[in-house]
Chain A
Amino acid sequence: MLEKMFYPESVAVIGASADSRKLGHTVLKNIIDGGFKGRIYPINPKSGEILGLNAYQSILNVPDEIDLAVIIVPAKFVPGVMEDLGRKGVRAAIIITGGFREAGNEELENQVLEIAKKYGIRVVGPNCQGINNTHHQLCASWPLITLKGRIAIASQSGTVAAALADWSQDDGIGFSTFVSLGNKSDVDEVDIIEFFSEDENTAVIALYVEGVRDGRRFMDAAKMCRKPIVISKPGVTERGAKAVESHTKSMAGRDAVFEAACKQSGIIRAENLEELYDFAKAFAYLRPFKGERVLIVTSSGGAGILAIDVLESNGLRVFEADEELKAKLRDLVPAHAILDNPIDLTGDATAEMYLNVVKAAFDYADAFLLIFGDPIEGAADTVIETVKMADAAEKTVVVAFLGGAEVEKEEVAKMHSHGIPVFPTPERAARVLAALKRWGH
C-alpha cells in the first residue's frame, strides 16, 4: 500500500525553490543529485525554471501522473495543496512543513488528515524530515546520503534518524530507507513495520518512537514481521514522558508496559541511540545467537575484562578454559599470553594468532568475541576467514577494535566492506552479543 510512497516513479516537490537557503531548494536538489531515476516536477507559484527543471504553478498543470508529492509550503497552504493532490490523483504525500499539532495547531492537522482520508492519500509527517530510499535513489530529505545498506531507519525525530544515517555512512554500511515520521498523523510505526517486513532491500528495522498509537496493532504487526525490529523509546522517567508529550504530542505511556509489549512481540529494545544503531548494524549482518558459551580472544587484558562483565551480567557464559584447551593453545600464542578465557594474546598479538586460536578452540564455544586492542595489521583478513568458518558451523563472531589508530581505521573499513560489523568498544560489542542472544530467544 505504501509502494508509491517509497518506490515512486514520479515525484512533485511542492514549494520547490530557486533560493538555495530554502528547504524547498535543498530537497529538490537532493532528489536530483541523489540520482533519482523517475520524473521530477518542481511546483512553485512563480513557475519558471528551478535547478534546470521546468517548474509548474500548480500540480494540476503537470501533464503526467504523480506518484509522490513532497510538500514544503507554509502550514496554512497545506490543506489547499492536499485538495489539489486529491484532484490530481496523487496517493502519497510527505509533509515536511511544521506548525501543526506540535505547535498547538491540532485543528489544521485534523483538516489535512480529513482531506487525505477523503481522497485516500497516505501521509508521512507533517513536521518531518522526509524519506530517503537509497535503493530507489530517492533522497526526499536531507542530508544527501546515497550509500545503499540494509537497515530501515524510521524515527519520530528527524535528528535521531539523521544521526543514525550519518553513522551508517561513516561506517560505510549505509541504510536501506530513512523515514522521518514527524507527527505521525497517518503513517505510523505499524505501517512502517508492515511495509519493511516485506521490503526486499531491508534486513532490519530500527525505530525511534516516543509513543505508539495502538498498542495491540503494534504488537500484532511486530509478531508478524519477518525482520528483526530494534526500538528505542524514551520517556522512561516522569519528566521524560512529559517532554515527549510536548515534542510530538505522543503519549509516552507506562514504560514497564511498553517493555512487556516488546518482550511479548519479539522486539529488541535498545536503551539509547548508540545501542539502537549498534543492534541494527549487528542484526543487519549477523545471525541470532542461540548458544551460551562465549570465548573472548583479545590483545588487551583490560578490554577483555570490560567485555566479561557485560556478557556475564546479561546471562552469557564466559566459560573457564580447561587444561585440555590450554594445552591446545599453548604453542599458538606468545609465551607470556594468558590462556584463560579471555585468551589474552597481549601486545605481541598478530592477526594470525587470532585465527589459530579460534581454530583450535572452535568446538569449545558457540560465539567468539574478537577484541583487537592494538594496531594489528591483517585483522580484517583474519576476521573474514573466521567468519567463514563460523558461518558454516552457525556460530557467531562479534568484533571490537580500539586503540589501533590508522591501522584500525583501515582494517575496520575493510571488515565493514565485507559486511562484518565492528564495534568501537568491548562493552558495545558485548552488548551486541547479548542482543543477538535476546533475538535468538
Chain B
Amino acid sequence: MHEVIEKALKEGRYPTEPECREMLKEYGIPVLDYAIARNEEEAVKAAERIGYPVVMKVITARGEHKTEIGGVVLDIRGEDALLNAFLRLSSPMGVLISPMVKGIELLIGAFQDEQFGGVIAFGTGGKFAEVYEDVAYRITPVDAETAMEMMKETKVYRILTGFRDVEPRDVKQIAELLANLSKLVEENPEIKEIDLNPTFSLPEGVFVGDARFIL
C-alpha cells in the first residue's frame, strides 16, 4: 500500500488531488503541470509561471466531482479573474492551478470489481462521456499490448491515430500510461475507484488533467 493511501485511510478521508497527482507521477503517469497556491501571492506567481489561461480547482479530501460542487473555474485569463476565483475556491489546503488546455479528451479510469478485482477503463472522455459510452475495459494486470487492443476497441482510437485535421498521437504512450495505471491498481487494491477524467491527449503527449481516488 502506498503511503498516500495509508495516510488517507488512517485519517478517514480520500486523497486530495495533489496527493493523487504525486502518486500518479511515481507510477510514471504524466500529469498536466500544476501548482498549489495557499495565498493570493502564490496564486498570481503560479499562474504567471504556468501562463494564462489557467484553470483553478478546489482541493478537497472528500472525493466529490469537483465540477458538480462548483469547485472548478475554467479559462482564467488574467489576474483579476484569478483573484476572484481564489476567493471562492481557497481552503486551508489552498487551490490547485493548472494550464487550460484543449486536446482530445480521454476517459481513463479504474475500479475494483466485486467478482474480477481490478479493472481498467479507457474511452472517450469529457462532459458527455456517459452519453457516448465509448469505453473499453480490461481486467488487471494490463500490459501495454493488452492496453493497445483495448484502445483499438474504442471510437476515439480512430481520432487518436489521425482523423481529418487531427494530428496523429503517440498511442503507444497512452498504452504505457494504461499499463502503469494497472500497476498502480494492482499494488493498491484499497483504492475502489480511480477517475482520471479528463485526460488530455495533446500533440506533445498525453497528460492527466484531473485525478480523483475513492477509497
> Which residues from chain A sit less than 8 Å from chain B, CB to CB?
211-216, 219, 251, 253-254, 256-261, 263-264
Chain B residue numbers with a CB within 8 Å of A254 are 113
For chain B, give the interface size range: 10 to 19
B159 at the interface (CB under 8 A from A): no
> Is the beta-carbon distance between B139 and A215 smaller than 8 angstroms?
yes
Q: Which B residues lie at the A interface, using CB under 8 A?
A: 113-117, 119, 135-139, 146, 150
**Inside 8 A of A253's CB, which chain B residues have their CB?**
113-116
User: B137 and A256: CB pair below 8 A?
Assistant: yes
Q: A256-B137, A261-B139 are in contact. Are A251 and B114 (CB under 8 A)?
A: yes
- Do A260 and B119 form a contact, CB below 8 Å, given A215-B139, A219-B139? yes
Which residues of A are found within 8 Å of B117, using beta-carbon distances?
215-216
List 20 other contacts, CB 8 Å, given A215-B115, A257-B116: A212-B115, A214-B115, A215-B116, A215-B139, A216-B116, A216-B117, A219-B139, A251-B115, A253-B113, A253-B116, A256-B135, A257-B113, A258-B116, A260-B119, A260-B136, A260-B137, A260-B139, A260-B150, A264-B139, A264-B146
Interface pairs A-B: 10 shortest CB-CB: A215-B116, A215-B115, A260-B137, A253-B115, A257-B113, A256-B137, A260-B138, A257-B119, A257-B116, A261-B139
What is the CB-to-nearest-CB distance from A263 to chain B, in angstroms, rounded to a whole number? 8
Q: Number of residue pairs across A and B with beta carbons under 8 Å?
A: 43
A260–B113 Cα distance when bound, in Å, is 12
Q: How far is the CA of A253 from the CA of B119 in the complex (A)?
A: 13
Return the chain B residue nearest A212 by Cβ.
B115
**Which residue of chain B has the shortest Cβ distance to A253 in the bound complex?**
B115
- Bound together, the chains give a CA A212 to CA B119 distance in angstroms of 16
24 A-B pairs in the complex with CB atoms less than 8 angstroms apart? A211-B115, A215-B115, A215-B116, A215-B117, A219-B116, A219-B139, A251-B115, A253-B114, A253-B115, A253-B116, A254-B113, A257-B113, A257-B116, A257-B139, A258-B115, A259-B137, A260-B119, A260-B136, A260-B137, A260-B138, A260-B150, A261-B116, A264-B138, A264-B146
Chain B residues with CB below 8 A from A212, complex form = 115
Contacts of B116 in A (CB 8 A): 215-216, 219, 253, 257-258, 261
